[in-house]
A = this chain, B = another copy of it.
Amino acid sequence: MMVSTKGRYALTVMVDLARYSDGGFVSLADIAERENLSMKYLESIISILNKGGMLESLRGKNGGYRLARAPEDYSINEILLLTEGTLAPVNCIMQDGVQCEKAATCSTLPLWAGLDSVIEKYLSAVTLDDIIKGNRKKMLGDYCDHCETEQ
């Protein structure tokens, strides 16, 4: 599994904020209840999003979180990258400039690099706004049954 619950829940939180914030701060308790997720666990996840500059927060009573930018300015790739650390499908992909010692002679490396590129390209093209709007054309592409008639 490339994306753990951490990344999935992070995305869920971002989508929830985009949907229910309308400029004001939304408490984590509200998010957890709406999405039916453990608030305590979400705490650690939203903390990553907050420190990563994805959110603005307000402490104290009536505090909470809200998006730092417009939904269309968040790519799914950056959200998942922040929370998961890496989205590389294998650990032999170059990380922080460090690559596998066998890289020069490895015949399967181009495959993994290509797969990594395909994933990054896809996730970079979809925005938070696409998810909220239910933009099936962009998300499902050729695989969407209704994209010809809808959209």
Contacts and interface: CB of A to CB of B under 8 A. Distances in A.
A50 interface: no
A107 B122 contact: no
A90 B2 contact: yes
A55 to B, nearest CB: 18
Interface in A70-111: 76, 88-92, 107-108, 110-111
A58 interface: no
Size bin of chain A's contact surface: 35 or more
Interface in A96-147: 107-108, 110-115, 117-119, 122-123, 126, 131-132, 134, 136, 139-143
Task: Give the 9 A-B residue pairs with the shortest CB-CB distance, closest first.
Answer: A2-B2, A114-B139, A2-B89, A110-B139, A117-B143, A118-B122, A3-B90, A114-B140, A111-B139
